Amino acid sequence: MELPRNRFKAGLAEGRRQFGLWLNLANACCAEVTAGAGFDWLLIDGEHAPNDIQSMLAQLQVLAAYPVQPIVRIASGDAVSIKRVLDIGAQTVLVPLVESAAQARDLARAMRYPPRGIRGVASSIRAARWSRIPGYAAAADAEVCLIVQIETRAGLDALEEIAAVDGVDALFIGPSDLSANLGHLGNFRHPQAQQAIEDGIRRIRKAGKPAGILVSDDALIRRYLDLGCTFVAVGSDSALLATVTEELAAKCRALKEKTA
């Protein structure tokens, strides 16, 4: 049995555009339905969605049968949380609220085995297919991928230093939290927020790292792609379900009124 190749990380290195979707519903069946849609990657959200390690594991298991790359966002950037999601088979991890190079260095070390890092060593884990992948520990570091999320003024101020950290593979702009931190809660379209987002993308690319973002507006997707974003989340399963069910219910109400 061979170690799975991280095609998402390879795509970042090659500069390929990769589109993804947020999985907020914390449900393996929903993840599997979405897995067949044709996205390049799907993000299992452990920060704002009601996921625990068991529900993350179930979603990783169903996604493994499809040609889509999973990303796991953990709730906070502690070494234990990183170790646990890596051990259940995640290879790409998104960490929210990164604000300094020192924090980024700690995260990079938590992603890797000694001597480069501090990840705890165990053989009977899903990531190693329960010891069925020969030399897993020696090869795993090459396939792990760390994305750090920039979503505060402090993160923007330290952006170049964060991007320069060895082991940080990409930087992701969080538009909602960033705009709130800048004083525009619920309005990431505010000119100041948009200026900060666009400047952040340019600076990430100038620093030589891939830039990513979450946005569902078609015009903004094109704008951020033009600025250099190469991995973009274009929505979430929960938002899509809410939109489609509302539209269907509205059609039903219209039919009721016609027949009343």
Catalytic positions, please? Answer: 48
Closest to 35 in 3D by CA, of 215, 43, 53, 145: 43
Contact (Cβ atoms closer than 8 angstroms) between residue 114 and residue 76: no
Tokens of 93: 């991890």
CA gap 156, 178 in Å, rounded: 9
Share in percent of the chain as helix, strand, coil (round to 5): 45, 15, 40
Tokens of 167: 């082991």
CA gap 33, 90 in Å, rounded: 19
Closest to 237 in 3D by CA, of 1, 3, 33: 33
